[in-house]
Chains A and B, each alone.
Chain A
Amino acid sequence: MKPFKSAIAVAVLSAIALTGCSSSESADTAGSAIECTPSSGPVTLSFTSWIPGIEDVVDVWNKANPEIQVKVQTGPNGNSGTYQNFFNQLKAGNAPDLGQVEYDALPNFRVQDGLTNIAACQDVADAESSFIPWAWNQVSFGEENAAYGIPQDTGPMALFYRSDLFKKNNIAVPTTWEEFEKAAVEVRKTGSYITNFSQNDVNQFAGLVWQTGDTWFKNDGDKWNVSLAGTGSTTVADYWQDLIDRDLVSSFPGWTSEWDNAYNTGKVWSWNSAVWGANSVASGAPDTAGKWSVAPMPQWEKGDNTSGNWGGSSTVVFKGSEHPYEAAKFALWLNTSSESLTMLNESANLYPATTAGLDLPSLKEGVEFYGDQKIYDVFAASANQVSSTFVWGPTMTQTYNSVSDGFKAAVTGKGTLVDSLKSAQEATIKELKTQSIPVAE
C-alpha cells in the first residue's frame, strides 16, 4: 500500500501548486495530517448528509455538547447531485465542515484535494483499531498516519433466498458458484429464475469482483493502474455471461416495479446483495413475508470464506474547515457511539463499520420477514471476510456509466459483459488522462 501514497502525493502536490501554496502546511509533507488543536470558544459546524433522520441523531449530540453545535444540511444522495455540490462549494471556498461521502467517491475527493487528513487528532488515531480493517483502509487509502474520514457504514454481502421454494422443489441452497449454476438449471425447470442480473447495478458486480480478492484500481509506484478487465473481473463476467446466454437468470433493472414484482410473485428466488438489501426485499416483496432466509455468499472454491461489499459511506472533514478537531470529535461520536449507531440503524438501516457495532442489541434479534432468522449474524460474519485490497478509482462516476452502458447492451444480446469491461477500461484511462491524473499502461 506504500506506493499508493506517493501517487497521492504527486496528485496533491500538483493541486497545491495550482492553488498557489495558500495553505500554511509545508508542501514537502503533502498528504500529512493537519495539526489538530481545539478551537477556543463555542463552535458551530455544518454537516451535509442525505441520511434520512440524521437530524434526530445530531440533536442528541447537540444537547450533550453545547460548545460544539452541529447544523445539518441535506440534499439528494451523493451521485444524484450532492457530490457535484461539494465540488462546487470547494471551488467557491464555502464547503461544509463535514460531509457524507461514499467509499467509491472518496478517491475522487482525494485527488482533487478536497479532504482534510485528521490522523493527527489523537482520538482518531486511537479509534483505528475499533473499525473493521477493510473499512478503515477505504478512508486511509492504506497510508500510514492518514485518515481522510471516519468510516460510517458498510454493506457486507450475503445471499437472500426463498427458503420455502428451495425446500419445496428439493434444491439445495448453493454454497459455491458451481452449485449456484447447477441450482439455476433446476430452478429454471420450474419456470422461475434463481436470481436477477441487474443491468444497472454496477456496484453489485463490483461486490462480486471484490469477493474474488481482485481489485479494479491499483497503484504501481506513482501512477494509477486500471484493471477493470483483470482476472477476477473476467472470471465473474464470464460466469454471469454464461448464465445470461442460457437464460438462467432474469435481467430486470434494479428497484423498478417489475423487479419488485418478480420477487413478490416468486418469479425470482434469490438475490446476492448487501445487508441493507434486507429492507429492499421486505418492502418490495411484502407478500412473501416469512419465506426468505439469508445464507453466506456462494464461494469460488469449496470451503473458502470470502465475501464482497456493496455500498457504505464515510464522514469526512472537508478542506478549509476551521475546526478539524471538533469536526473529528463529532464524526467519531457519530460513527462509534452505540447510541448513534443504534439510531442510524433504526432510521436508515445503516450497518455499522465498527467491530463493536456489529454486536448492537438491535442486530442480534430475529427478523420476522426472514422467518425470525437472526440474519445479522450472517452479515457480521461476512463483514469480517471482506478483502482489504479493493481500491476504488478517482473517476468512478464515469467508470460506472461506461460499464453500465455495456451491461445494458450485453443483457439484450449485443456484446458481452467482458467486452463492456474492456471498453470501460479504455474509457476510464482516457478520462484519467483528461483530468491529468497519471496512469500506468
Chain B
Amino acid sequence: MLPRMGAMLIMAVFAFYFLIPIWWLFVSATKSKGDLTSTNPLWFSEFNFFENVGNVLTYRDGVFLRWIGNSLAYAGGGALIATVLAGMCGYALAKYSFRGRELIFNVILGGVLVPATALALPLFLMFSQINATNTFWAVFLPSIVSPFGVYLTRIYAGSSVPDELMEAARLDGASEVRTFFSVSVKLMFPALVTVFLFQFVAIWNNFFLPLIMLRDEANFPVTLGLYTWNSQINQIPELRMYVLVGALLSIIPLIVAFLFLQRFWRSGLGAGSVK
C-alpha cells in the first residue's frame, strides 16, 4: 500500500510541476493588461479572455491566424510526406536485401545524431545558391526528411510485416508498390502514426530554421512570429499580452493532434503482443 501511495505522491508532484506553467499561461491570458502585473499570477482577476483573443486575432490584419495556418501547412504537410518517405524507406530496408543496405541504414542512423540546428546555416547557404531562401519551400523541404522515422519504421516493418504475407500478395499478382500501400502500410500503421506525430511536433516547434531562412512575415510559422513579437516588447509593451495569449493558442493544435492520434497509437502498442 505504502509504495503505491509514494508513487502516487511523486506522480502528483511531477504533474503539478509540469502543469503549473500551463496553468499560469491560461490564467494570464484571461487578464487585462493592468491586472497582469498587479494581481496574483496564479489566480484569476477580471475575465478578459475573449477580448484578448480577439485582439490577438485582429492585430495587424490577423497576421497571427496566418502564422497558425503556415505552421499547420509546414507541420501537417511536412509530417505527412515525411511519414510516407520514411515508411517506404524503412520498409525497403527491412524487407529487401540488396548491396549496401547496412551502409545506407547506418548513414541514415547517423542523421539522427546531427542536431537540426547545426544544419540550418549550411542549408541557408545552399538555398541561397538557388535563390530559394525566404520561400515556403526553404522551410518545408528540409522538414520532409526524418532519419528517426526511417529507423523506427525499419524496426517495426521487420517485426510486423510477415514475409509470407508479401509472398501471398505477390502470388496474387500485386506489384511491390501495391503490396506496400495496400498490405504493409496497414500493418505498419501504429509506427507510421508515431512517426507522423513526432515529426509534426518537431516541425511545429522548429524555430531556428525559419529564423534563418525567412524574412517575409507572411511565411512565418507561429513560433517565429511570437518570438518576433516578444523581441519588440521594449518598444510596444502591449505585445506582452499578445505573446502570452498567442502562446496559449499555439499549443491547441498540438493538444488536438495528440488527443486525436493517441487512440491509433494505443491500439498499435498492444497489437500482436498476444498470439
Contacts and interface: CB of A to CB of B under 8 A. Distances in A.
A144 interface: no
A400 to B, nearest CB: 15
A366 interface: no
A51 B235 contact: yes
Nearest to B121: A88
A265 interface: yes
A80 B211 CA distance: 10
Nearest to B211: A81
A126 to B, nearest CB: 30
Given A91-B125, A280-B234, A76 B227 contact: yes
Given A74-B228, A260-B37, A283-B33, A52 B236 contact: yes
B38 A261 contact: yes
B151 interface: no
Interface in B203-259: 211-212, 214-217, 224, 227-228, 230-239
B251 to A, nearest CB: 20
Residue in B215, B232, B233 with the greatest tally of chain A CB atoms within 10 Å:
B215
Interface string B128-143: 1101011000000000
Interface string B166-208: 0000000000000000000000000000000000000000000
A257 B228 contact: no
A255 interface: yes
B20 to A, nearest CB: 15
A286 B33 contact: yes
Given A50-B228, A283-B33, A75 B237 contact: no
Given A76-B227, A94-B133, A50 B232 contact: yes
Residue in B41, B212, B228 with the greatest tally of chain A CB atoms within 10 Å:
B228
Contacts of A77: 231-232, 234
B231 A80 contact: yes
Contacts of B125: 88, 91-92
A74 B232 CA distance: 12
A111 to B, nearest CB: 21
A279 B238 CA distance: 10
B34 interface: yes
A85 B224 CA distance: 14
Interface string A44-66: 00101011100000000000000
Interface string B109-136: 0000000000001001100110101100
B235 A276 contact: yes
A310 to B, nearest CB: 11
Chain B interface size range: 20 to 34
Chain A interface size range: 35 or more
Contacts of A287: 34, 38
Nearest to B129: A92
Interface string A70-110: 00011111001100010011011110100000000000000
B235 A286 contact: no
Contacts of B235: 51-52, 276, 279, 348-349
Interface string A17-47: 0000000000000000000000000000010
A382 B161 CA distance: 77
Contacts of A50: 228, 231-232
A257 B215 contact: no
A91 B212 CA distance: 13
Residue in A255, A283, A284, A285 with the greatest tally of chain B CB atoms within 10 Å:
A283
Contacts of B124: 88, 92
Interface string A357-387: 0000000000000000000000000000000
Contacts of B228: 50, 74-76
A93 B127 CA distance: 12
B36 interface: yes
A283 B234 CA distance: 10
Nearest to B131: A94
Contact of A94 (B41, B128, B236): B128
B9 to A, nearest CB: 31
A405 B132 CA distance: 39
B232 A286 contact: no
A173 to B, nearest CB: 25
A336 interface: no
Residue in A50, A81, A279 with the greatest tally of chain B CB atoms within 10 Å:
A81
Given A81-B227, A94-B128, A96-B215, 20 more contacts: A50-B232, A52-B232, A52-B236, A73-B215, A74-B228, A75-B211, A76-B227, A76-B232, A77-B232, A92-B133, A94-B131, A261-B37, A265-B38, A276-B235, A283-B238, A286-B38, A287-B34, A348-B235, A349-B235, A349-B236
25 contacts: A46-B215, A50-B231, A52-B239, A74-B215, A74-B217, A75-B215, A76-B228, A76-B230, A81-B227, A81-B231, A85-B211, A88-B212, A92-B124, A92-B133, A255-B233, A255-B234, A264-B37, A279-B236, A280-B234, A283-B238, A286-B33, A286-B38, A287-B34, A287-B38, A349-B235
Interface of B: 33-34, 36-38, 41, 121, 124-125, 128-129, 131, 133-134, 211-212, 214-217, 224, 227-228, 230-239
Interface of A: 46, 48, 50-52, 73-77, 80-81, 85, 88-89, 91-94, 96, 255, 257, 260-261, 264-265, 276, 279-280, 283-287, 348-349
